[in-house]
Amino acid sequence: MQSRPSAEPPGQPTAGPLAGSASHDDGNDAQAARPSVKDVARLAGVSVGTVSNVLNRPERVSSEVRLRVEGAIEQLDYVRNGAAQALRSGLAPFVGVAVLDIGNPFFTEAAVGMERRLREDGMVMILSSTHADVREENAILRLFEAQGVRGVLLTPAGSDVAAARELAARGMPVVLFDSAARPQGISSISVDDRLGARLAVEHLLDLGHRRIAFLNGPSAMRQSRDRLAGVQEAVSDLSRGRVTLMLVSLPAYTAPAGHDGLRRLLAREEERPTGIFCANDLIAFGAISALNEVGLSVPGDVSVIGFDDVALAGQLSVPLTTIRQPMDELGWHAVELLFDRSGGHRHERFPPELVVRASTGPVPAPAE
Amino acid sequence: MQSRPSAEPPGQPTAGPLAGSASHDDGNDAQAARPSVKDVARLAGVSVGTVSNVLNRPERVSSEVRLRVEGAIEQLDYVRNGAAQALRSGLAPFVGVAVLDIGNPFFTEAAVGMERRLREDGMVMILSSTHADVREENAILRLFEAQGVRGVLLTPAGSDVAAARELAARGMPVVLFDSAARPQGISSISVDDRLGARLAVEHLLDLGHRRIAFLNGPSAMRQSRDRLAGVQEAVSDLSRGRVTLMLVSLPAYTAPAGHDGLRRLLAREEERPTGIFCANDLIAFGAISALNEVGLSVPGDVSVIGFDDVALAGQLSVPLTTIRQPMDELGWHAVELLFDRSGGHRHERFPPELVVRASTGPVPAPAE
DNA sequence: CTGAAAGCGCTTACAG
DNA sequence: CTGAAAGCGCTTACAG
């Protein structure tokens, strides 16, 4: 997608200062080995166990000694060796997060919520994209496990959650993120995609639209299937008279895919839809731009509704009507769930929400 | 910004399966301790050193033994303990990345490039937001150091890069990302913001605009100052006759800030600008939406140009003219620079690039 | 080519 | 309240 830069820097790199010139640094050139507890103990005149105690249970140490140790720590610029700590205690401050695509705002907005929750416990995330590839997913999961992460948040690449199950069976806390799978022994968190899609199409129907297109994501993805089910439900359910449904399956949940899909749709259908439901906001953005290119206005000629409610959705020239997923909250709760050792596992499913903005409206005048 | 969810789940959580029911898992309930090299060695009938050798220098091991060890690894589902490896070898497969805001597409698009490069070497990133707060930055840097990351990519929160210098002085590879600072001993990578701003304003001038507004980000940020300098340069430089420059300083590089800033500008000025340069694309999106709200069209009534060229910029209903920063490449190169142990340190500065799309055009008819 | 042994820097019972 | 010692799971010279 992005062009791959060649090995040499395309910029105008400026050579750095030559090594070896005098008065480089304020002392300390000699790449001194990092000080260890041993050094701190020596300087403070105590044992290493005591140093460890002021680090981990300061209340057990007399304040006089504590102060002395803290002084030594300060003076030596001591930073605890996390690897040793992790090895001994079995605990590292990491949570592994493997999502389909770091570039997708749905996941980055969720990551914001994850990070916020993680920081409360002094933890950080290792973030990785699986690119929806099961092999990459497996490799990343292995790496997470090897590094002794405290838990794993995973958006499964496929419908196969075997890797996650095995991980969980080995004792690793795992939460499936944006997955409707409900394997036993693993918590999961998601939004009800089917309901969301239903709400979207019902909104279009309520506005009087009877020629409706659905620009869906890759049909192999669970999200796509669920949303399609919701669409069909809405259309057939209420026996609202004749509704024409046009389906387009896109290769990706991206704006360019939405753009191209819309063009294809227009080329294919004799009578164009008056309402379009896009399986996510990015697709909607692309579709709207394609619509404008051929001289159709939104919502004057065609109504468009998205899915997700990414940060930008409400702040564009024609603010997007969409189905809101509370990404930030989802991320926050995913972490919460990960550390909820209160026994059983849970499957949380958040309700999506219709957010009506400017991109949808009544069917234009020359209706049937 | 985002609403903070309460502790109880707002969804409709389904209780997980009760613990203790029979035939839960396929064996292996007993939370078996992870197998170690020792277990592998025992099963394969070799020493732990040999196991380590097949892991790290398989060519030194006879293929017969290697096969046996690999079989044992397979059979036990052995996963190497990364903490022990890191402790012993001093190397963890992590790079710490501390950016101002994970929610900002500029950084996430850069993170995509970083990740791509990192993966080539089997490494992953620990990603954290400093929220442009120096204290958070310090805490994160400490944590990175404690965890023995292989290097740190940092977007400095303030103009003060002391923390980064100290880190580097202790031997940690550090690259300043999107920073124009050139401290000795630290490489840096950035785009020439001043030139970018200059290109943007020159584009507006070339189109004939003489009433130009600049919606800038927070004035404390280096990026803002550099871009302002570029704007002023362009305006004063070429003595292109009278140019009226209106400056607005926004509290953040976000769409809502751009929206509000535009409204304020319109309220304040008697004669509105015909061209607006926004210090990033998000601000531009917000500004365009505010413009549309008051019935002004882009570029019919007002031209708008952004900065960054985020993924969405070209895919909106009115594709945004902008100054392109090659985020993905910047990220890729930042990692490259981090591991470039070829001696000195470098300061790479990429040239920004004008991307003309639909949001800018000639001055509208009722010109002066 | 393989094994025995030391040691990375911590933490954690266990004595005192 | 403090110290001595064992050990977490690896890797790495060093012998053989």
Question: CB distance from B23 to chain A under 8 Å?
Answer: no
Q: Which of residues 253-292 of B touch A (CB under 8 A)?
A: 255-256, 259, 282, 285-286, 288-289, 291-292
Sign of the four-CA dihedral B20, B26, B27, B32: negative
Residues B99 and B124 in one domain: yes
Residues A238 and A319 in one domain: yes
Residues A151 and A243 in one domain: no
Residues B61 and B167 in one domain: no
B282, B283, B287, B289: CA torsion to nearest 10: 20
Question: CB distance from B22 to chain A under 8 Å?
Answer: no
B103:A109 CB<8 A = yes
Tell me what pLDDT residue B368 has. 43
Instruction: Say whether pLDDT at B250 is over 90.
Output: yes
Tell me what pLDDT residue B20 has. 27
Tell me what pLDDT residue B274 has. 97
With cut-offs at 50, 70 and 90, classify the pLDDT of residue B1: very low
Question: CB distance from B13 to chain A under 8 Å?
Answer: yes
Residues A214 and A300 in one domain: yes
Instruction: Say whether pLDDT at A29 is over 60.
Output: no
Tell me what pLDDT residue A90 has. 82
The count of CB pairs under 8 A between chains A and B is 271
Is the Cβ atom of A87 within 7 Å of strand D at any atom? yes
CATH of residue A277's domain is: 3.40.50.2300
With cut-offs at 50, 70 and 90, classify the pLDDT of residue A31: low
Question: CB distance from A118 to chain B under 8 Å?
Answer: no
Q: Alpha helix (H) ranges present in B45-104?
A: 48-56, 63-76, 82-89
Instruction: Say whether pLDDT at A57 is over 60.
Output: yes
- Percentage of chain B beyond pLDDT 90 is 71
Instruction: Tell me the pLDDT of chain B averaged across its residues.
Output: 87
Sign of the four-CA dihedral B265, B267, B269, B271: positive
Residues B204 and B304 in one domain: yes
Residues A338 and A298 in one domain: no
Residue type, A327: M
Question: CB distance from B296 to chain A under 8 Å?
Answer: no
Instruction: Let me know if residue A88 belongs to a domain.
Output: no
Instruction: Let me know if residue B246 belongs to a domain.
Output: yes
Is the Cβ atom of B72 within 7 Å of strand C at any atom? no
- Percentage of chain A beyond pLDDT 70 is 89
Residues B74 and B186 in one domain: no
Residue B239 Cα distances to A204, A269, B272, angstroms: 55, 55, 22
Kindly state the helix (H) or strand (E) to which residue B212 belongs, with its residue range. strand B211-216
Residues B208 and B304 in one domain: yes
Question: CB distance from B30 to chain A under 8 Å?
Answer: no
Chain D nucleotides close to protein (CB under 7 A) are: 1-5, 7-13
Question: CB distance from A149 to chain B under 8 Å?
Answer: no
- A79 CB neighbours in chain B (<8 A) are 142, 145-146
Question: CB distance from A21 to chain B under 8 Å?
Answer: no
Domain count, chain A: 3
Supply the range of the domain harboring residue A54.
Answer: 37-80
Tell me what pLDDT residue B238 has. 65
Instruction: Let me know if residue B4 belongs to a domain.
Output: no
SS3 label, residue B109: helix
* Closest residue, by C-alpha, to the C1' of C6: B88
Tell me what pLDDT residue A19 has. 26
Residue type, A77: D
Question: CB distance from B341 to chain A under 8 Å?
Answer: no
Q: Which among A20, A48, A80 is the end of a domain?
A: A80
Tell me what pLDDT residue A343 has. 66
SS3 label, residue B311: coil
What is the average per-residue pLDDT within A39-52? 92
**Nearest residue, CB atoms, A24 vs list B13, B14, B184:** B184
With cut-offs at 50, 70 and 90, classify the pLDDT of residue B341: confident
Tell me what pLDDT residue B160 has. 81
Question: CB distance from B108 to chain A under 8 Å?
Answer: yes
Kindly state the helix (H) or strand (E) to which residue A193 belongs, with its residue range. helix A193-206
Tell me what pLDDT residue A28 has. 37
Give me the CA A25–C1' C16 separation in Å, rounded.
48
Residue-wise pLDDT for A180-208, tens only, equals 888 888 999 999 999 999 999 999 999 99
Give residues 25-54 of chain B lying near strand D (Cβ < 7 A). 33-34, 36-38, 48-49, 51-53
Checking each nucleotide's C1' against the CA of A39, the nearest proves to be C9
- A348 CB neighbours in chain B (<8 A) are 9, 11-14
Residue-wise pLDDT for A327-343, tens only, equals 999 999 999 999 887 76
- A262 CB neighbours in chain B (<8 A) are none
Residue-wise pLDDT for B124-145, tens only, equals 999 999 998 999 999 999 999 9
Residues A117 and A240 in one domain: no
Give me the CA A84–C1' C9 separation in Å, rounded.
5
A155, A160, A163, A168: CA torsion to nearest 10: 70
Please provide residue B86's backbone torsions phi and psi, each rounded to the nearest 5 degrees.
-65, -40
Q: Which among B46, B80, B114 is the end of a domain?
A: B80
Instruction: Say whether pLDDT at B239 is over 50.
Output: yes
Is the Cβ atom of A162 within 7 Å of strand C at any atom? no
With cut-offs at 50, 70 and 90, classify the pLDDT of residue B264: very high
Instruction: Let me know if residue A333 belongs to a domain.
Output: yes
- A138 CB neighbours in chain B (<8 A) are none
With cut-offs at 50, 70 and 90, classify the pLDDT of residue B366: low
B262, B266, B272, B276: CA torsion to nearest 10: -10
Residue-wise pLDDT for B8-65, tens only, equals 333 333 332 222 222 233 333 345 678 999 999 999 999 999 999 999 999 889 989 9
Tell me what pLDDT residue A180 has. 82
Q: Kindly report the number of other CB atoms within 10 A of residue A13's CB atom.
A: 17
Instruction: Let me know if residue A25 belongs to a domain.
Output: no
Q: In chain A, whose CA is at the least distance from the CA of B136?
A: A119
**Contact, B155 vs B331, CB < 8 A?**
no
Please provide residue A189's backbone torsions phi and psi, each rounded to the nearest 5 degrees.
-140, 135
Question: CB distance from A344 to chain B under 8 Å?
Answer: yes
* Closest residue, by C-alpha, to the C1' of C11: A88
Cα separation, A132 vs A141, whole angstroms: 13
**Nearest residue, CB atoms, A81 vs list B9, B105, B146:** B146
Give me the CA A139–C1' C3 separation in Å, rounded.
32
Instruction: Let me know if residue A27 belongs to a domain.
Output: no
Cα separation, B247 vs B270, whole angstroms: 14
DSSP, res A320: P
Instruction: Let me know if residue B26 belongs to a domain.
Output: no
Cα separation, A275 vs A245, whole angstroms: 10
With cut-offs at 50, 70 and 90, classify the pLDDT of residue A18: very low
Could you identify the residue written with the tokens 């949001």? Answer: B359
Cα separation, B20 vs B17, whole angstroms: 9
Residues B204 and B321 in one domain: yes
Residues A122 and A151 in one domain: yes
Give me the CA B54–C1' C1 separation in Å, rounded.
12
Instruction: Say whether pLDDT at B362 is over 90.
Output: yes
Instruction: Let me know if residue B242 belongs to a domain.
Output: yes
**Nearest residue, CB atoms, A256 vs list B79, B86, B315:** B315
A109:B125 CB<8 A = no
Higher pLDDT, B5 or A170: A170
Helix axes B37-44, B63-76, angle to 10 degrees: 120
Tell me what pLDDT residue B156 has. 92
With cut-offs at 50, 70 and 90, classify the pLDDT of residue B343: low
Cα separation, A185 vs B194, whole angstroms: 55
Tell me what pLDDT residue A200 has. 98
- B291 CB neighbours in chain A (<8 A) are 317
**Nearest residue, CB atoms, A19 vs list B288, B344, B349:** B344
Instruction: Tell me the pLDDT of chain A averaged across its residues.
Output: 87
Q: Which of A122-126, A178-182, A205-209, B209-213 has the lowest mean pLDDT?
A: A178-182
Q: Which of A362-366, B114-118, B161-165, B219-223 has the lowest mean pLDDT?
A: A362-366
SS3 label, residue A194: helix
Instruction: Please list the residues that pair with A349 across neighbouring strands.
Output: A190
With cut-offs at 50, 70 and 90, classify the pLDDT of residue A364: confident
Separation in Å, CA of A301 to nearest CA in chain B: 14
Q: Which among A56, A80, A104 is the end of a domain?
A: A80
Tell me what pLDDT residue A2 has. 36
SS3 label, residue B172: coil
